[in-house]
Amino acid sequence: MYRLASIMYLYPGNQVEYERRHTELWPEMSNSLKEYGASNYSIFLDEEKDTLFAYVEVKDKETYESFSNTEICKKWWEYMAPIMKTNDDNSPISKSLRQVFYLE
């Protein structure tokens, strides 16, 4: 099991909308994430900085990373692009974090 963490960035004024969209996460998105090995997926919000901290556990990094090539993922990115900072392909601008400590 691999633990992955990253930071993403909202545009100001979109905190409520971001949370709403995730509260109403499409079932096909949820099912696909699980199919590609994601579990214990959490996203936390720094309300002062409009910054998101995402944490997910995956069975296999390569399998999970290939999820970004699926139609449902691209559809989700397009849906989220108006409220968060994105790359040219609508993927969220993110910064991967390196694990430095773990306590089981």
The CB density around residue 57, as the number of other CB atoms within 10 Å, is 15
Mark whether 78 is an active-site residue: no
The angle that helices 27-35 and 71-80 make with each other, rounded to 10 degrees, is 130
Residues 3, 22, 49, 59: which is the catalytic one?
22
Of the candidates 67, 83, 55, 80, the one whose C-alpha atom is nearest the C-alpha of residue 31 is: 67
Residues known to be catalytic: 22
